[in-house]
Amino acid sequence: MAKARSNAETDPVSTLLTDPRYELMPFESMGDEIEHLPEGATITITASPTLELEATIDWAERAAEQGFEVVPHVSARYVRDVEHLTDIAERLRAVGVTDIFVPGGDREEPIGEFESAYDLLVALEETEYEFEEIGITGYPEGHEFLSNETLQESMERKEPYATYIATQLCYDPDAVIDWIDEIRAQGIELPVEVGIPGVMKYQKLLSISQKVGVGDSVKFLKKTSGILGFVRQFVGSRGKYEPDELVEGLAPYVNDSKYGIRGLHLYTFNQVSDLESWRTDRLKATR
């Protein structure tokens, strides 16, 4: 079951920074990175275009056995067929995973029969395996290849199968709030995990992006609000980004039930030590 999140009405910044979700990439360094996390922290594990789903599921099993709450990305375009999906679900449930995140996936062509997250969600419903929590993707700043109308239709189709939305990374709190206003007007009432960048050091981020592969590194950098946004942020921050202004911009909406902000989804870019130092210092400052 998902961890309870803080709901301290008097301190919305503390609420956001208590028990966030930490997104990590399933590289060899992940074992070192999780040593910097709080005991029992919630880890979401991405699916890599290079490593595909096996690395994600393998790390999910290992992290769950270490006592972490694990949320693996089961990207639809990385799943071959129903048999493969059933095997994935069986392995995850065997180690106590009760929460999965289902994006479409970054592959241009699906590896098998699932074209979209919706296709996979429908197929999962027909298996014998159930998950207490299922997340779907939200796009506060739109999608590079899909129109807003297509995104809206997709979310409406997926909503009955999901229990929450986790957003793509965004630097702009106003864009996040405006987007939540839009989906609420659309009738989407799912709670939202707001995806924000963690602490990022420019040189380390570039070295990590290179590990993803030449083609995939472009997609990797585009997750940071596009190449230009990425460059502007780092020029302004002298090579190190910390999300203070972003968290403070979201804080006024935390306890407003209209927005349903359930917590933060931190894109760590496998820089957990720097992120945790910043997060704990900010929490201390709120006390």
**What does the pLDDT look like over 268-285, one tens digit per residue?**
988 899 999 999 999 999
Task: Please state which of the ranges 186-200, 238-252, 255-269 shows the lowest mean pLDDT.
Answer: 238-252
Write the CB contacts of 106 (distance below 8 Å, at least 6 apart in sequence).
49, 75, 77, 216, 219
What is the pTM assigned to this prediction?
0.87
Name the token pair of 200.
Answer: 């990022």
Write the CB contacts of 12 (distance below 8 Å, at least 6 apart in sequence).
251, 252, 254, 255
**What does the pLDDT look like over 212-221, one tens digit per residue?**
443 444 454 5
The pLDDT of 2-19, averaged and rounded, is: 71
Domain boundaries, given as residue ranges, for the chain: 12-285
| Whole-number pLDDT of residue 143 | 77
Full DSSP string of 165-217: EEEPP-S-HHHHHHHHHHHHHTT----EEEEEE--EEHHHHHHHHHHT-HHHH
Name the token pair of 176.
Answer: 């996040």
In the chain, the amino acid numbered 135 is G
In which element (H, E) is residue 136 found? strand 133-138
Distance CA 250, CA 45 (A): 24
Coil/strand/helix, residue 266: strand
CATH tag, 12-285: 3.20.20.220
Coil/strand/helix, residue 164: strand
| Whole-number pLDDT of residue 147 | 79
| Whole-number pLDDT of residue 148 | 81
